[in-house]
């Protein structure tokens, strides 16, 4: 370690990112001087606010490669996912509620974000049939898996572009083609993808795409939803009724400051994401190579190549997740285990791709960002290696493993 | 999880870490009692060992290794400190509530102290079995 970087180190960019100062700069006038309601059509304040919103809409459209009219502003990706999934299901249902017949078939996957899984589960309770695809150990949802699940009455496919815990990239372009050929609406939760990787909703045959501002160095509480307007013109049943803003898809006075910030974040992302991807991928390799070359029994989860450049998810055998987090408390990252309560709940994503409970508990998700430095990466690697070594020196399981005892054959006293 | 200073201290400077030999060796040693409790998929495994001085019948040394959270490590570390110098009967009387109190364990971590008490009992029982001393307590390492 050459120098100690400023602590704590933030390596949780898949959870949220700091706002880019250029984004904050762009937002500021809209809090004070240009504070108008874009719905006020007959004075300068309203016109100024509207101009800010429309600039942002153009910036988003440019990043997604769609028409400005196809961008709906939301309160974030959770809302975008709910509006897209629920809105499409209710609009395209095959049979009415209460008819006793299936209202329609929906395809999703068991390692989607909760903001997709939970709306799907609610629809399931309300009479839709939902299949949750189970990707294999590499975490990739393929077009063949979707094809095999397709039925005559499939109305919606919702598959995330890239996974938030392991960063794996699904076969979105091919799934888009398949859905188009079957006239099935295709939604993708692109929260981790947009602004990091090139997006072309038309080239990739996407009908609905949701994403969020705060994952791309924009503000929290704002997001975007692409709703295709031609071939086909996608319709949605709105979740919120009222003043009819956002072409009736999302009533409510627009979050002008947030929207302006989101637009600016998209513009910056478009200019910088290619260079960021190269740099982050190089730093991640350095992090992974250092750790895996110096620690035995650790594994990188998910497909090694087909994944986002800034996320890594590593499991460490024979150490426990919470004590590992305690040992690296200067590093802000996510653990594969939500063990703040007595009952340990390993990540459903890792479990979903077949990682055992013991390894899922002792996993770390490290996600790099625009201002991550090599010093931070080197410090983090050393800290993790030291922590795992320390905890293994304490671990009876590691001793047993070293002595050649098969831990799966031991009769444990379960509690 | 926000922990108190005593847990942090035991976690950062665990006392009496180690083993009196490999798994095969400690099985053979009559002066050593071993308690192995918990399960990897539950996130806690404690291995507690006591070495008894045959002349005095007192616990001359104790060691532990724990796979688990900070509280589990602290509970077993504290247990080894308390075991040293105690007679078997005194050791058997150690209660999990005393560990909870000493470390100020948060309510969701009380199971760690229970596991430490189980480990103490299992180690004592192993020692008694090896030395033909009758045990009255039910086996702590229940096999489900």
Q: Give dist(CA A302, CA A279) in Å, integer.
A: 21
Write down the pLDDT at residue A29: 98
Average the pLDDT over B10-14 and give the result. 96
Beta bridge partners, A210, equal A189, A225
Nearest to B1 among A340, A393, A394 (CB): A340
Pick from B63, B19, B39: nearest CA to B142: B39
Are residues B14 and A344, on separate chains, in Cβ contact within 8 Å? no
Interface test with A, best of B69, B105, B112 (most A CBs within 10 A): B69
What number of other Cβ atoms are within 10 A of residue A41's Cβ?
Answer: 9
Nearest chain B residue to A410, by CA: B39
A284 with A235: CB under 8 angstroms?
A: no
pLDDT by residue for chain A (415 residues), tens only, comes to 457 899 999 999 999 999 999 999 999 999 999 999 999 999 999 999 999 999 999 999 999 999 999 999 999 999 999 999 999 999 999 999 999 999 999 999 999 999 999 999 999 999 999 999 999 999 999 999 999 999 999 999 999 999 999 999 999 999 999 999 999 999 999 999 999 999 999 999 999 999 999 999 999 999 999 999 999 999 999 999 999 999 999 999 999 999 999 999 999 999 999 999 999 999 999 999 999 999 999 999 999 999 999 999 999 999 998 899 999 999 999 987 654 444 567 889 999 999 988 888 889 999 999 999 999 999 999 999 999 999 999 999 999 999 999 888 888 876 5
Nearest to A405 among B23, B68, B108 (CB): B23
Catalytic residues of A: 339
Pick from A232, A224, A223: nearest CA to A205: A232
Could you say which of B112, B119, B122, B124 is catalytic? B112
Nearest to A342 among B37, B38, B108 (CB): B108
Q: How close, in Å, is residue A400 to chain B by CA atoms?
A: 7
Q: Which tokens belong to A121?
A: 């589960």
Q: Are strands A71-74 and A223-227 parallel, antiparallel or unpaired?
A: antiparallel
Q: Show Cβ contacts of residue B89 under 8 Å, excluding neighbours closer than 6 positions.
A: none
Q: Give dist(CA A85, CA A108) in Å, integer.
A: 10
What number of other Cβ atoms are within 10 A of residue B8's Cβ?
Answer: 15
Q: Give dist(CA A45, CA A372) in Å, integer.
A: 39
> Mapped to the 3 state alphabet, what secondary structure does B83-114 carry?
HCCCEHHHHHCCCHHHHHHHHCCCHHHHHHHH
pLDDT digits (tens, 9 = 90+) for B94-104: 999 999 999 99
Domain A21-269 falls in which CATH fold?
Answer: 3.40.640
Cβ burial, residue A49 (10 Å; 0-12/13-18/19+): buried
Instruction: Strands of A239-387 (E only): list them.
Output: 298-300, 311-316, 331-332, 334-335, 363-367
Q: How close, in Å, is residue A276 to chain B by CA atoms?
A: 34
What one-character-per-residue DSSP string does A386-400 give? HHHHHHHHH-HHHHH
- pLDDT band at residue B136 using 50, 70 and 90 as cut-offs: low
Q: Is the ipTM of this complex over 0.90?
A: yes
Residue B69 appears among annotated catalytic residues: no
Q: CA Rg, chain B, in Å? A: 14
The CATH classification number of A9-15+274-409 equals: 3.90.1150.10
Beta bridge partners, A398, equal none
Q: Show Cβ contacts of residue A136 under 8 Å, excluding neighbours closer than 6 positions.
A: A353, A354
Q: How close, in Å, is residue B65 to chain A by CA atoms?
A: 5
In eight-state DSSP terms, residue A52 is H
Write down the pLDDT at residue A303: 98
Residue ranges of domains in chain A: 9-15+274-409, 21-269
Beta bridge partners, A73, equal A224
User: How many Cα neighbours within 13 Å face the side chain of B134?
Assistant: 1
Set of chain A residues whose Cβ sits within 8 Å of the Cβ of B36: 396, 413
Could you say which of B42, B104, B108, B133 is catalytic? B42
Q: Show Cβ contacts of residue A244 under 8 Å, excluding neighbours closer than 6 positions.
A: A251
pLDDT digits (tens, 9 = 90+) for B112-132: 999 999 999 999 999 999 999
Write down the pLDDT at residue A357: 81
Q: Which tokens belong to A345?
A: 């709940």
Are residues A413 and B41, on separate chains, in Cβ contact within 8 Å? no
Q: Show Cβ contacts of residue A383 under 8 Å, excluding neighbours closer than 6 positions.
A: A327, A328, A330, A331
Q: Give dist(CA A228, CA A236) in Å, integer.
A: 11
Interface test with B, best of A340, A355, A394 (most B CBs within 10 A): A394
Q: How close, in Å, is residue A311 to chain B by CA atoms?
A: 25
Set of chain A residues whose Cβ sits within 8 Å of the Cβ of B144: 413-414
User: How many Cα neighbours within 13 Å face the side chain of B106?
Assistant: 14
Q: How far is CA A20 from the centre of its chain?
A: 19
Are residues B66 and A395, on separate chains, in Cβ contact within 8 Å? yes
Pick from B72, B68, B23: nearest CA to B41: B68
């Amino acid at each position: 370690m050459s120098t100690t970087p400023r602590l704590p180190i933030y390596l949780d960019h898949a959870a949220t990112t700091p706002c880019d100062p250029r984004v904050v700069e762009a937002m500021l006038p809209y809090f004070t001087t240009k504070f108008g309601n874009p719905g006020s059509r007959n004075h300068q304040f309203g016109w100024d606010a509207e101009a800010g919103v429309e600039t942002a809409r153009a910036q988003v459209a440019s990043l997604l490669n769609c028409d400005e009219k196809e961008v709906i502003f939301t309160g974030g990706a959770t809302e975008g996912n709910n509006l897209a999934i629920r809105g499409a299901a209710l609009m395209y249902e095959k049979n009415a509620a209460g008819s006793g017949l299936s209202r329609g078939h929906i395809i999703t996957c068991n390692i989607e974000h909760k903001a997709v899984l939970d709306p799907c589960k609610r629809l399931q309770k309300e009479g839709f049939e939902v299949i949750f695809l189970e990707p294999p150990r590499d975490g990739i949802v393929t077009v063949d898996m979707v094809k095999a699940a397709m039925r005559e009455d499939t109305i919606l496919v919702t598959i995330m572009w890239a996974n938030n815990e392991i960063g794996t990239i699904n076969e979105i372009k091919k799934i888009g083609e398949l859905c188009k050929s079957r006239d099935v609406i295709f939604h993708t939760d692109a929260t981790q993808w947009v602004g990091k990787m090139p997006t072309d909703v038309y080239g990739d045959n996407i009908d609905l795409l949701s994403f969020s501002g705060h994952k791309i160095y924009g503000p929290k509480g704002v997001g975007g939803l692409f709703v295709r307007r031609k071939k086909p013109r996608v319709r949605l049943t709105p979740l919120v009724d009222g003043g009819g803003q956002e072409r009736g898809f999302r009533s409510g006075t627009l979050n002008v400051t947030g929207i302006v910030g989101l637009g600016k974040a998209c513009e910056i992302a478009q200019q910088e994401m290619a260079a960021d991807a190269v740099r982050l991928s190089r730093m991640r390799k350095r992090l992974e190579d250092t750790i895996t070359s110096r620690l035995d029994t650790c594994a990188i989860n998910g497909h090694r190549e087909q994944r986002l450049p800034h996320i890594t998810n590593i499991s460490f055998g024979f150490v426990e997740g919470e004590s590992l987090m305690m040992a690296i408390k200067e590093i802000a990252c996510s653990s594969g285990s939500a063990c703040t309560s007595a009952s340990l709940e390993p990540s459903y994503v890792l479990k979903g791709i077949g990682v055992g409970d013991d390894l899922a508990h002792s996993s770390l998700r490290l996600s790099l960002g625009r201002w991550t430095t090599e010093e931070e990466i080197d410090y983090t690697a050393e800290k993790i290696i030291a922590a795992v070594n320390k905890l293994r020196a304490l671990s009876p399981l590691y001793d047993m493993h070293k002595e050649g005892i098969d831990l799966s054959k031991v009769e444990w006293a379960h509690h | 999880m926000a922990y108190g200073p005593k847990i942090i201290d035991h976690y950062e400077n665990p006392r009496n870490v180690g083993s009196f030999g490999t798994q095969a060796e400690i099985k053979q040693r009559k002066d050593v009692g071993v308690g192995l409790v918990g399960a990897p998929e539950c996130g806690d495994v404690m291995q507690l060992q006591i070495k008894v001085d045959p002349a005095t019948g007192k616990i001359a040394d104790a060691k532990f290794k724990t796979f688990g959270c900070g509280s589990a490590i602290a509970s077993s570390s504290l247990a080894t400190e308390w075991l040293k110098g105690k007679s078997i009967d005194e050791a058997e009387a150690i209660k999990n509530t005393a560990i909870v109190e000493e470390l100020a364990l948060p309510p969701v971590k009380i199971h760690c102290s229970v596991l430490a008490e189980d480990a103490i009992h299992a180690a004592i029982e192993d020692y008694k079995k090896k030395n033909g001393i009758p045990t009255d307590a039910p086996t702590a390492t229940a096999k489900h």
